[in-house]
Amino acid sequence: MWIDRIVELQPGARLVAVKNVSLAEEHLHDHFAADAAHGESALPVMPASLIIEGMAQTAGILVGHTGRFKEKVILAKINKAELSRDAGPGMTLRYTATMERFDPMGASTTGLVELLDHARGGSFGEIGRIDLMFSHIDQNMAGVEFPEHNFVFSESFRTLLRTGGIEAHF
């Protein structure tokens, strides 16, 4: 999971989620580890690919909720991903996904990524835009059999939805 909490839902329109970046996360120790041989200290940052995944999870929940979680929603395409700043330990990412299009075949969303650096105070500031397309795989993969249960929205997602005050029966 690359989001920690859902903080706002406008059904069918918008979903806002946050991710608190913590030094306890294993991936931060690899990006970028100290290099004593070259005198470089560690610079732990959350990889851009994981920030994009956080937006995909945020937008995917919006798409799933819009369809009442009846479809298996998967990321089909990243239309645009622009990030201007890294996120490190002690910072909070805020993802805002807005629905652009929703139909039986899938959906498209626009996304705003904001960052709050707690060490510097202040407020959230924009660091990127991520626009995504999603597919309802049961509608788009003719001849391919998938399990009946919704394997996309796992127990972790159910817990995230429940703690965000969102009812989901799937």
User: With left for phi above 0 and alpha for psi between -120 and 50, is residue 90 left, alpha or beta?
Assistant: left
Quick one: tokens of 45?
A: 């940052």
Q: Please list the alpha-helical segments (H only) found in the chain.
A: 48-66, 137-140, 155-163
Contact 28, 103 (CB under 8 A): no
Contact 128, 82 (CB under 8 A): yes
Active site residues per annotation: 31
Please give the single-letter amino acid code of residue 140: N
What's the chain's Rg over C-alpha atoms? 17
Q: Using DSSP bridges, classify how beta strands 106-117 and 125-136 pair: parallel, antiparallel or unpaired.
A: antiparallel
